[in-house]
A and B are shown apart, each in its own frame.
Chain A
Amino acid sequence: MTVESTAASKPRRSSKRTSAVKTPARTSAKTPAKTPQSSEPELVQLLTPEGERVEHPDYEIDLTAEELRGLYRDMVLTRRFDAEATALQRQGELGLWASLLGQEAAQIGSGRALRDDDYVFPTYREHGVAWCRGVDPTNLLGMFRGVNHGGWDPNSNNFHLYTIVIGSQTLHATGYAMGVAKDGADSAVIAYFGDGASSQGDVAESFTFSAVYNAPVVFFCQNNQWAISEPTEKQTRVPLYQRAQGFGFPGVRVDGNDVLACLAVTRSALERARRGEGPTLVEAFTYRMGAHTTSDDPTKYRADEERASWEAKDPILRLRTYLEKQGSADEAFFTALDEESETLGKRVREAVRAMPDPDPMAIFDHAYADGNPLVDEERAQFAAYQASFADSDSAEEGK
């Protein structure tokens, strides 16, 4: 536990945190000796990799067996969906896929901390958060299949479109949060981004704006250790969560493979935002188990042993161990979930294969909201051109 992590839930103590940046993150001096301790002292952790429940003085959480099973189910189904998408890419059904393998706890924990009226600004890998928002997973695939640039209405689930230009969305989230505050609403906004994206000017600017305007936004950085081939050390020389300090708001590092800790820390940061106390940076310390995307070859830049060491921290396995030890889930639950996973996989597979190529005329459809005579002219030319192939199918489409 660190001074900063304490600050996340007790913002009024922020004036005492001045030395934190210089001092490396410290261990559990404040943790009462009686309670079981986290095996990762620098991180907020509530569930160890061995599936032991531990306490943290600032982040209490008390979940029912049903809620715990719910988190487990979310993670398992998200992983299944992700595996299916990866397979579909291999089969040529998708042009590209950015797998979230290994990051399920960070996404489900933070995603389940959200209220319906909160708003999410994701990057391109937040499939688990989308799941929590109730976005149909098949909607996420259109962009990767190349049939659209998004494929869902952001306002129907308060889940914004994926953003590929890294870091851009942190400013949108901040502006949206400024709007929320202006409206006097008590909802919060969350922006996802990676450790690599943290180097972008946009991210620094969003920190500045959110701090200055006290915007109700949570910055959720999934530090999965890599930005394609570049390790986090190529982005920063201080732990990322400590960046917040210099902007005047709290930062906290959470075990990103611990779904309970991610839930508790995000919930606390969201509540802080709702109370009008401004932004928080959450750094979820996690690991990208697979390649950056299906186009990437991680063997060029990272050692197999590294991945193996993180396998021992698998977010799903540790919750399963805990559920079993506690007797919160029986064999029937796991079996039913396996079946549900298979059904989901099948549904996704079928939906993707059935996804039609768009009508070529769709190119012109939404370039402008108010229309544009130049686009109209080009649309007409294009239609005439398509129609000129009298004996081909495109002649029909052109009309």
Chain B
Amino acid sequence: MAMEKMSIAKALNESLRKALDTDPKVLIMGEDVGKLGGVFRITDGLQKDFGEDRVIDTPLAESGIVGTAIGLALRGYRPIVEIQFDGFVFPAYDQIVTQLAKMHARALGKIKLPVVVRIPYGGGIGAVEHHSESPEALFAHVAGLKVVSPSNASDAYWMMQQAVQSDDPIIFFEPKRRYWDKGEVETDSIPGPLHRAAVARTGSDLTLVAYGPMVKVCLEAAAAAQEEGKSIEVLDLRSMSPIDFDAIQTSVEKTRRLVVVHEAPVFYGSGAEIAARITERCFYHLEAPVLRVGGYHVPYPPARLEDEYLPGLDRVLDAVDRSLAY
């Protein structure tokens, strides 16, 4: 095989197909994942090819979906469950937090829970409420879970492969407004570890850290800043738990300035964790306080205001200017 250009949605679909094909213990479960292929068509055609025993339309019960996936995993299966939208994971939150995250530790490592929970997340698609949220910090705060989000097709493909193979539960956040963005996928190459951050663009004046849907915005901001003679490095975090602090440190030691960008509210968000750790690690390198750009401490707004709410190019550049002004 070789290089192929495909959308993030297609890359996920291909990756799930490969997972089902490779390991008979892999299952896909969720609402509408069968005939419909999921509301975003990520599982399109999989039930047709692998049957209703492998690609399972579940009752409309998220606690039930995750809870039974835990049981299936205890029995040796590797379930990949789909939560239809970010806001609907909360009925399953109890199972994820009180059970999925902790069972391995409680069993003194004797059992493994290779469950992947796929969640299309984030805003920018003009949806009604509960369809646009970024709850990643709520999961990253819980020990026992790994939380990741790809920002491009190649990562979507490979990170899903790695997530399925992981013996730990993975919360796999898919940036839904990027589903249709296309990129090159090298289906043969062996990727780096799942938690490793990637330098999406090199630069020397300031580091932007982002993940998922905001990586594209940061790359655009960096390109715009370039025209003003500013050299911005963009780091794609890829994993929100664990976080590759070494990669951020390396970058910040070079650029001496850091801005963290995410859609989720800034307050208690992943940017707070990054800012605190990097301040500890890089205090004498920093020329400016670590700044954060993200959502406000308000409910995710109705669609007609989401462009005001979501960090866009201007808000990122504004933070870049403020950092450089120190």
Contact = CB atoms under 8 A, between A and B. Distances in A.
A237 to B, nearest CB: 11
Interface residues of A, number: 47
B64 A201 contact: yes
B139 to A, nearest CB: 18
B246 interface: no
A363 interface: yes
B22 to A, nearest CB: 27
B34 A144 contact: no
B61 interface: yes
Interface in A363-391: 363-364, 367, 372, 374-375, 378, 382, 385, 388-389
Contacts of B31: 227-228, 230
Interface stretch (A50-58, A78-86, A146-154, A264-272): A146-154
B88 interface: yes
Interface string B116-135: 00000000001111110000
Nearest to A377: B297
A147 B126 CA distance: 11
Which applies to chain B's interface (DSSP): helix, strand, loop or mixed? loop
B87 interface: yes
B315 interface: yes
| Of listed B32, B126, B318, residue having the most chain A CB within 10 A | B32
B63 interface: yes
Nearest to A195: B60
Contacts of A144: 128
A229 B34 contact: yes
Given A95-B126, A146-B126, A201 B297 contact: no
A301 B31 CA distance: 13
B288 interface: no
Contacts of A301: 35-36
B304 A363 contact: no
Contacts of B61: 199-201
Given A227-B60, A228-B31, A363-B308, A165 B130 contact: yes
Given A146-B303, A147-B304, A199-B59, A300 B309 contact: no
B297 A165 contact: no
B87 A143 contact: no
B128 A95 contact: yes
A358 B57 contact: no
Contacts of B32: 228-230
A95 B308 contact: no
A386 to B, nearest CB: 8
Given A199-B60, A201-B91, A363-B301, A300 B37 contact: yes
Contacts of B64: 199, 201
Contacts of A228: 31-32, 36, 39
B186 to A, nearest CB: 32
Interface string A270-290: 000000000000000000000
Interface of A: 95-96, 142-149, 164-167, 196-197, 199-202, 227-230, 234-236, 295-297, 300-301, 357-358, 360, 362-364, 367, 372, 374-375, 378, 382, 385, 388-389
18 contacts: A96-B127, A143-B128, A146-B302, A165-B87, A165-B90, A165-B130, A167-B60, A197-B60, A199-B61, A200-B62, A200-B91, A201-B61, A358-B305, A363-B305, A363-B309, A367-B297, A378-B296, A378-B298
